[in-house]
């Protein structure tokens, strides 16, 4: 049975275009140069799994004609990956169910600050209905499928990537220990963040991501969490090695289990 993967968003924290930008990329007519905040939908065996709910989550779900979420995985606590969590409320109503959320204790503590009303002893009517499950950097079972976390560093902040069978998703990283890279051995499709061409304190550059992708050797690598400084989609893809491409919003593909 195959995993179906859909990129809900492939942009950095400000999205592309950011407000007021007049760069060549931001003025491009190519829809592949327009990027909502990074998130991905993974579907298998009738289950719909979301990795990260950023500020564009509501629109992303509407765009993909999605009205169901069976679980949410959080990579880390930054707002461009969590701030759409409140928009799970229509899912609660439409599907008449609570939604399980898988996250580290660090992310949970941050959500308690960001969404204090969700955690009140006497809940306010209509809040998101969520069941929180704490995870660490070790495999866990989700709907009869093993998920392997991959610990990466986002400057000094620990972030989790996730491997599901032959698919792996990593965002917001600028360093990965060799022992964590080994978890990617044999992966068929790798998603990796690549912010821009020039150095950044907390994200891989395009060249750094390319070198890591070549080291892992997946049949196909897609880059995500990109800023407008990455360059025009088509021009950048033309210069990348075979089997390495920029992702784009709405891109869908299947990966064998």
Give me the domains of the chain, ranges plus CATH numbers: 2-248 (3.60.15.10)
Whether the predicted pLDDT of 60 surpasses 90: yes
CB atoms within 10 A of CB 95: 13
For the question of whether the overall pTM of this predicted structure is more than 0.85, the answer is yes
Mean pLDDT within 43-65: 97
Strands 220-224 and 39-44, how do they pair?
Answer: unpaired
In 3D space, the residue among 227, 99, 255, 73 whose CA is nearest the CA of residue 160 turns out to be: 73
Under the banding of pLDDT at 50, 70 and 90, the label for residue 125 is: confident
Which percentage of the chain shows pLDDT scores above 70?
100
How high is the pLDDT of residue 25? 98
Average pLDDT, the chain: 97
Q: Is 155 left (phi over 0), alpha (psi -120 to 50) or beta?
A: left
Q: 70-98 pLDDT, tens per residue?
A: 999 999 999 999 999 999 999 999 999 99
Are 70 and 43 contacting, i.e. CB atoms less than 8 angstroms apart? no
Tokens representing 204?
């891989």
How high is the pLDDT of residue 1? 73
User: Which ranges in the chain belong to alpha helices (H)?
Assistant: 57-63, 79-82, 89-95, 105-114, 178-181, 206-216, 233-239
How high is the pLDDT of residue 168? 98
């Amino acid at each position: 049975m195959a995993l179906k993967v859909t990129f809900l968003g492939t942009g950095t924290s400000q999205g592309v275009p950011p407000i007021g930008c007049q760069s060549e990329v931001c003025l491009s007519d190519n829809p592949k140069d327009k990027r909502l905040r990074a998130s991905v939908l993974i579907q298998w065996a009738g289950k719909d799994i979301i990795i990260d709910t950023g500020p564009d989550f509501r629109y992303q779900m509407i765009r993909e004609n999605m009205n169901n979420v069976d679980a949410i995985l959080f990579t880390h606590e930054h707002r461009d990956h969590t701030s759409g969590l409140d928009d799970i409320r229509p899912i609660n109503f439409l599907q008449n169910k609570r939604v399980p959320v898988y996250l580290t204790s660090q992310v949970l503590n941050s959500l308690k600050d960001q969404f204090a009303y969700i955690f009140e002893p006497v809940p306010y009517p209509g809040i998101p209905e969520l069941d929180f499950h704490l995870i660490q950097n070790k495999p866990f079972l989700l709907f009869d499928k093993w998920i392997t976390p991959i610990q990466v560093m986002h400057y000094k902040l620990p972030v989790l990537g996730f491997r599901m069978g032959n698919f792996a998703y990593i965002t917001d990283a600028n360093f990965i220990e060799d022992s964590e890279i080994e978890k990617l051995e044999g992966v068929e499709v790798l998603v990796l963040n690549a912010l821009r061409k020039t150095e950044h304190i907390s994200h891989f550059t395009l060249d750094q991501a390319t070198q890591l992708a070549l080291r892992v050797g997946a049949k196909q690598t897609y880059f995500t969490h990109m800023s407008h400084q990455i360059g025009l989609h088509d021009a950048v893809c033309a210069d990348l090695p075979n089997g390495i491409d920029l992702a784009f919003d709405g891109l869908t593909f299947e990966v064998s289990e």
